[in-house]
Amino acid sequence: MAFDVQEIRKDFPILHREVNGHPLVYLDNAATSQKPQQVIDALVHYYSHYNANIHRGVHTLSQEATDAYEIARKKIQEHFNIEHKEEVIFTSGTTQGINLVAHGFSEFLNQGDEVIVSALEHHSNIVPWQMLCERTGAILKVIPMDVDGTLVLSEFEQLLSSNTKLVFVNHISNALGIINPIAEIIEKAHAVGASVLIDGAQSCSHIKPDLRALNCDFYVTSAHKMCGPTGVGILYGKREWLSKLPPYQGGGEMIKEVTFEKTTYADLPHKFEAGTPNIAGGIGFGAALDYLNGIGFDAIAQYETELLNYATEELLKIEGVTIYGTGSEKTSVISFNIEGIHPYDIGTIVDKLGIAVRTGHHCAQPIMDFYNIPGTVRASFAFYNTLEEVDRLVAAVKKAKMMLS
């Protein structure tokens, strides 16, 4: 099917509303993507026709809900090319997946062991590892970044040693849009016996990762960045690791047998899925994958690259604009500032013109400290944005500059 952005936009109800008297231009996709009607319908259909708890009932509604939820897990397995279905753990999102792994590794780290993260990480891929190091006496080390926003891999190689137990890197920087060379990072980490977790929150709406080919030990992502519902995501973990990690939470569903003397735990994946899950969210996640695969990730990538290149070219024509994250491998995110103007002020003015962008440090404060700036204006594009919307952004930034200079 030929890529037709105008036809695609018809699937997204929110894109047809106005904000402050102007047609909405939604350019905050790196924070959360909008939802097509097909995903909204999947949520409504669940609540309207077979709302029930799963895995616990013999009645018809429970069985229908269980089947739909497990079909969604199977879709996720196939989409990410995961070897075993039980390696797909439903979570509330990327942050919970990271914390689950960090909690579990408390049992495997000792004083003097080393954990490596990158300078490009979101706070959710920094703070849990700092907490882990505080609990265990392990040492946190950081892969430095270069001025173009890329990681200095030669320094990463120097950090690696027999003491390295864990390496955590995002697939794509949420603040800069830089795509990290994760295949190379995984290979180098494995060469010294370290395990690797990849934060895929920003990548999975742009790239279809093949987790079997990547051979990472863990991969986490969230549905809400992929046209799916909020409050649901997945942790992929190799079966041998998930079998070793202790449960993250105790409660219903994650048990095999409970007595007051001893509890035994359920098999994977239920060992890590305590309590009633976000059933509708899981089903909606599956519907979102169906939708994205119907468009095709090659077509999405090609179109978003066109948006990125055009927006970069046009914004750089504005005097005083600096773009952060200029490495050659990046996705459709532009973080920029105008000399002498605070990013919050720009964001406020363009919002008055109906344009949604993100301002601030984007939960990546170390990156802002590296550039010695308070934050940036971040415009993040999705496959349903248009070149005309880029033109409106550029015109709005020009107006903001004129008003604030």
Residues catalogued as catalytic = 363
- Which contiguous run of DSSP H or E holds residue 284? helix 279-295
**Sequence-distant (≥ 6) Cβ neighbours of residue 402 within 8 angstroms:** none
DSSP characters over 45-85: HHHHH----SSS--SHHHHHHHHHHHHHHHHHHHHTT-S-G
Q: Do 213 and 219 touch, CB atoms closer than 8 A?
A: no
Determine the 3-state secondary structure of 99 from DSSP: helix
Q: Are residues 237 and 215 in contact, defined by beta-carbon separation less than 8 angstroms?
A: no
Q: In 3-state terms, what secondary structure has residue 120?
A: coil
Q: How far is CA 159 from CA 53, 122, 139, 164, in A?
A: 48, 20, 12, 8
Give the strand pairing for 233-237 and 88-91.
antiparallel
Structure tokens, 204: 């999975």
Q: Please give the torsion angle defined by the CA atoms of residues 2, 81, 50 and 12, in that order, rounded to the nearest 10 degrees.
A: -30
Beta carbons within 8 Å of 131's beta carbon, 6+ residues apart: 102
Task: Write out the DSSP string of 316-385.
Answer: TTSTTEEEE---SSB-SEEEEEETTB-HHHHHHHHHHTTEE-EEE-TT-HHHHHHHT-S-EEEEE--TT-
CA distance readout (Å), 18 to 27, 31, 155, 359:
14, 20, 48, 21
Determine how many CB atoms are found less than 10 A away from the CB of residue 7: 10
CA-to-CA distance for 33 and 252, rounded, in angstroms?
32
Q: What are phi and psi of 390, to 5 degrees?
A: -60, -45
Cα–Cα distance between 92 and 235 in angstroms, integer?
Answer: 10
